Amino acid sequence: MSVGSEPLPDPALSRASAIARAARARQRADDRLETTITDFFLTADARLEERTRLMLAHVLRGIIGAIEADIRRHAARVLAGLGETTRAEAILTQGGALLRLTRSGVLRDRDLMKDLIARVRHDLIADALPAAIAGPEEPSLLIRLTGVSDTTVATAAGALLAAESRRRAANESGAIAGSDVPADLHRRLVWWVAAAVRDGLDDALKDAGEMVAMQGRGQSDQAITEAALRSLAAHDDAERPEAVAIRLAAAIDARRDELPALLVEALGDRRLTLFVAVLAHAIGIDAEQVRVIVLDPDGEQLWLALRAADLDRETIARIGLALADADPRRDIESFADALDSIASVGVDDARAAIAPLAMHREFRAALRALAGADRR
């Protein structure tokens, strides 16, 4: 029976839909409770500070949003070219990749979150570092480096200025590039977002009927795949600030007597990325690993790394004070008490202590995995 030309809704389908919605709501409530309980029992040093949490959400939303927009635009163009105008319109108008990925749990990926948390903490600390330019008429470190006669150094310094300016502007505006993560993580994110776009498209088209949803699925899968591959091909890891800073540190190749002033001035110029890269180059350890120890509020491994670079007590003190001013998690009194014992560590002993950090990242990961398997 129908009223006019509109069929009456099927009561059984409406009932089943209501039951399914209620079940999903109960599951979401259970998930929220579990998360709240876990958060309550976290120790203070394990819990993200509020500004870090907010910035992390901001960065994650920006990166995924940029990748999603890129995939949607290109996939819609491909679909329109194939004559699939309904699907092209649907893929442009529906959204929600971040929500789908969050609910699925894939964003809990350890490597991804480790990198993004480190990036956020790095940027927040860099912005909070006390400025210590040599004098009112003295230009900043990077500006001076852009004007040196060594064109390799000057070019790399200019590239770092531009890369850090782009990141700072992106952090402030939210217009973060989808490619502003390492290549391996970018690859994961692109395919996760592509899957979320495809999932959302299927749901959107089901409203038009099951047959409509099924017809043309092959074309939309082709278009989304092509858009994802295009995003991967466009990624340029070499333009990220971290990669540019590594090139600049290698070009400078600071001598032992130049290193203390360069490290201190990099912090005074609020160029934490350059500080990390210069220290990594000096002690022969991967810059990603050096960033980890620089951001660690405990500082024990950082002090050993600074001694391994043969830095004296005064230089270590200046670096420690600058980082403590910028990072409230650091205990400045404990650092002051330990300064004499830090400075007394021999250079060779410090190098031996941090030698495991020089091991290739994937080799270290394999050894950790093997050790975990042996304990089971």
Domain boundary among 191, 208, 235: 235
- Specify whether the CB–CB gap between 47 and 62 falls below 8 A: no
In a domain, 82, yes or no: yes
Domain shared by 207 and 342, yes or no: no
- 186-235 pLDDT, tens digit per residue, is 999 999 999 999 988 877 666 555 444 455 578 889 999 999 999 999 88
**In a shared domain, residues 210 and 263:** no
Is the pTM above the cut of 0.85?
A: no
> Quick check: is 366 in a domain?
yes
Q: Please check whether residues 276 and 194 belong to one and the same domain.
A: no
Domain range for 295 is 253-376
pLDDT, position 117: 93
334 within domain boundaries:
yes
Q: Is residue 55 part of a domain?
A: yes
The answer on pLDDT for 277 being more than 60 is yes
Does residue 275 share a domain with residue 214?
no
Instruction: Decide if 344 is inside a domain.
Output: yes
Question: Do 197 and 276 belong to one domain?
Answer: no
When pLDDT is cut at 50, 70 and 90, the band that residue 15 belongs to is: low
Q: Please tell me the distance from the alpha carbon of residue 201 to that of residue 220, in angstroms, as a whole number.
A: 9
Q: Same domain for 220 and 304?
A: no
326 and 219 in one domain? no
Could you tell me if residue 163 is inside a domain?
no
- Where does the pLDDT of residue 88 fall: very low under 50, low under 70, confident under 90, or very high at 90 and above? confident
* Residue whose C-alpha is closest to residue 297's, from 37, 59, 52, 38: 52
Amino acid symbol at 17: S
Q: Are residues 87 and 225 in the same domain?
A: yes
Mean of pLDDT values over 158-178: 85
Q: Does 227 share its domain with 300?
A: no
Highest mean pLDDT among 9-23, 167-181, 312-326: 312-326
Backbone dihedral angles phi then psi of residue 57, each to the nearest 5 degrees: -60, -40
Same domain assignment for residues 132 and 53: yes
215 shares a domain with 127: yes
Instruction: Judge whether 53 lies within some domain.
Output: yes
Structural contact between residues 116 and 59, judged by C-beta atoms closer than 8 angstroms:
yes
Q: What is the mean pLDDT of residues 71-82?
A: 92
End-to-end CA separation in angstroms for the chain: 65
Residue 93 vs residue 354, higher pLDDT: 354
Same domain, 264 and 351: yes
Q: Where are the alpha helices (DSSP H) in the chain?
A: 11-40, 50-81, 85-93, 97-104, 110-128, 141-146, 151-173, 183-206, 210-214, 217-234, 241-252, 259-268, 272-283, 287-295, 300-308, 313-326, 332-343, 347-354, 361-375
Interacting residues of 120 by C-beta distance below 8 A, sequence separation 6+: 52, 55, 56, 59
Q: Which has more confidence, 2 or 55?
A: 55
Task: Please count the structural domains in the chain.
Answer: 2
Contacts 24+ apart (CB under 8 A), 328-336: 328/49, 329/45, 329/49, 329/297, 330/297, 330/299, 331/297, 335/299
Instruction: Indicate whether 346 belongs to any domain.
Output: yes
